[in-house]
Structure 1
């Protein structure tokens, strides 16, 4: 099962190749979904301070009956946190909220606070301050690995050039129709694994007739095709769903897309996110 296969991060830590994203799932509901996801076969759960679901994610993992060392949990430092002292406090807050002991991977959620996302200011010094706190927590054994999210090339290079511990992951928006190939190549050249959040464009591509036709060729759903596309590119997809049915189908992606169809998918264009465009990562992603 693909969800239990792993990539090897630059620091040697194994990370499951596919994860369950929990954005916009209420903390009161997420514990049951996490428990169900683990029962289905997921071993990688992704949350964030901004999601307000760390407590519920931790509850679901503890109730899963699966040994802690067989599970991988990611969380993210609040995007507005750009100081060392605040980051230290928030890291310990995540550890307490999750209640699963060590955190496997912790990321800076964004180079900018959300209200200023992609507005030109890169917060280089603030990100280094936050990174210093992550490095400290990593050295103390609180975090197994550290990385970033939504970082452009210049933001990533700022960390790498000044870090004692290099980032091992950059979690970014990447899906059929909007795949930042230059950034992906840049990350790979620096031994940084790219995780793809919203691999189905927050649902915006699911009704596309061209993708539906191609998915039918493989006997899969559009969502499965899009998730497999990310895997074929060597990315780690993080599909999010509140549906148990979709939880099952999202990891049933053990098929291969032909080189010809991958070329077709790479050339696909999609920039209409509908209602989701109100969120910074979708509204300013192009």
Structure 2
């Protein structure tokens, strides 16, 4: 059986095991443009996914991500950042992952070969929701079974192989064709990097469409710790042209929600 691109040996790295550290990094540097080119080629599909995510959120729907292995870890990281960055309400975004390297039952749904846990995890989703499935191979049983059982739910799939079954099963297919890895089969490298870039693009563009960005600032940010409060003060001073004391006063009155503080300062 012919292996998928992500599992093939890279012809330029057959001597990888004999290289010194500098040579290893040089080889990786030379290969990195493959990632950015793959993501750039997928721009129309990424934009379509961002529009669909924004539409789902605007109508109060849920966006569920599923992934296994490296893809699962990336999904979990992306979802964890959306609340602090964009003020996403609890439950709007959620992650269902399969991983053998994590042991916290709060985040590990199943093993990657489990074809039953994924569908069960998203059984409560409906026509107003969106499912985003991520798998380098595009054939991970946990991920593929989830998509195949997502009846009546809009689906988006991200994979790194042109013939990935996942891409044939979804409404919004996104191919990130990063080819063979320098370390054979280690999709935490180019494939994972491309997936991270793709997820960043989809979620950021979606929240721009949702109005969570003003100029280039995160206006839905809430100052829940010292770092975020400093950032909130900087945003309000920059957007409203007030000094830091006035910004802090407005933020304090607004519960440290940037948009509310800005609207307070803008009121006549």
TM-score range, shorter chain: 0.3 to 0.5
State TM-score, norm by structure 2: 0.33
Q: Which has the larger radius of gyration?
A: 2
State TM-score, norm by structure 1: 0.32
